[in-house]
Amino acid sequence: MSIFIIAEIGINHNGDIGIAKDLITVAKEAGCDAVKFQKRTIELVYSKELLDSPRESPWGATQRAQKEGLEFGYEEYKEIDRFCGEVGIEWFASAWDLESQKFLRQFNCKYNKIASAMLTYEPLLEMAASEKKHTFISTGMSTLEQIDRAVEIFRNAGCPFELMHCISTYPMEDEDANLNCINTLRERYKCNVGYSGHEVGLAVSYAAAALGITSLERHVTLDRAMYGSDQAASVEPMGLKSLVGAVRKIEKAMGDGVIGVLAKEVPISKKLRAHFHKEY
């Protein structure tokens, strides 16, 4: 089974549908299987106190102005849905509240995503699991007991899922990756396991691919110097092409693990062993 590669656009579109469409095009041209966004109902996710607090941004001087500036509504998602259909790539989004999960239903996406931050929000997990769509569940910031509970909710609902090993730092230091957790999760839960990475560079993602992940998610950007908290941990267009190309090579290179002599090796063996085979 081929690794399902997700280009996480998240909020790197900076509230601009044109940038979003450019990133969708980048993901499609690089060979990704899907793009992902994030959906929030601002008043439900953030307190009034935080929203009224100061924050300088291109949209104004408050947290509210910044967060509203980054949020897409129905018209933008309708255009995303149309555009993804036109270019031929799947899209879905991680909801950060119950209203956002309901909002996303109208687009009938093929997949759901539980963000690491939402893993302990059981009402959201139950709502997503009730939809019976294949769900990617990121495990950043979570204990085994918390992951146990999330897995229990999805299994009780009969909803297909896979876990995604994740470290929720932006950007993540390579030494924090702890990729052997991929094997730990696979053995404990007997399910498919992917990797959602926030590191700078591609090497850690290549290593994850070699560990047999079933999905790979990386944040994407047009330019890491753009405004936004996720940009520094994102992959630029050329990097994304390199990532997808290398992952597909790694998949082929891993093979089936069966030891034997390839047909291609037989004439080489005859040639290189000829000097002592004559003696027997």
- CA–CA separation, 4 vs 214, rounded Å? 6
Phi and psi angles of residue 211, each rounded to the nearest 5 degrees, phi first? -90, 5
Rg (CA), the chain: 22
Beta carbons of 6 and 34 less than 8 angstroms apart: yes
Question: What angle do the packed helices 122-130 and 98-105 form, to 10 degrees?
Answer: 20
Q: Which two tokens stand for residue 265?
A: 């090796």
DSSP one-letter string for the chain: ---EEEEEEETTTTT-HHHHHHHHHHHHHHT-SEEEEEE--HHHHS-HHHHHSEEEETTEEEHHHHHHHH---HHHHHHHHHHHHHHT-EEEEEESSHHHHHHHHTTT-SEEEE-GGGTT-HHHHHHHHHTT-EEEEE-TT--HHHHHHHHHHHHHTT--EEEEEE---SSBPGGG--TTHHHHHHHHH-S-EEEEE-BSSSHHHHHHHHTT-SEEEEEB-S-TTSSSTTGGGSB-HHHHHHHHHHHHHHHHHH--------GGGHHHHHHHTHHHHTT-
CA separation for the pair 27, 220 (Å, rounded): 8
- Would you state the pLDDT for residue 24? 98
Q: What is the pLDDT of residue 279?
A: 59
Q: What's the confidence (pLDDT) of residue 66?
A: 97
Residue with tokens 């939402």: 118
Task: State the Cα–Cα distance between residues 34 and 129, nearest whole angstrom.
Answer: 20
Cα–Cα distance list, 82 to 24, 49, 88, 89, 102 (Å): 12, 37, 10, 11, 19
Give pLDDT, residue 161. Answer: 98
CATH number of the domain enclosing 98: 3.20.20.70
Q: The domain containing residue 32 runs over which residues?
A: 4-277
Beta-bridge partner residues of 113: 94, 136
200 phi and psi angles, rounded to 5 deg? -90, 130
User: Which residues partner with 134 through β-bridges?
Assistant: 111
For residue 139 the two structure tokens come to 């495990």
Specify the pLDDT at position 27: 98
Task: Give me the number of domains the chain comprises.
Answer: 1
Write down the pLDDT at residue 68: 97
Contact assessment for residue 14 and residue 70, using Cβ atoms and an 8 Å cutoff: yes
Tens place of pLDDT per residue across the chain (280 aa):
899 999 999 999 999 999 999 999 999 999 999 999 999 999 999 999 999 999 999 999 999 999 999 999 999 999 999 999 999 999 999 999 999 999 999 999 999 999 999 999 999 999 999 999 999 999 999 999 999 999 999 999 999 999 999 999 999 999 999 999 999 999 999 999 999 999 999 999 999 999 999 999 999 999 999 999 999 899 999 999 999 999 999 999 999 999 999 999 999 999 999 998 765 5
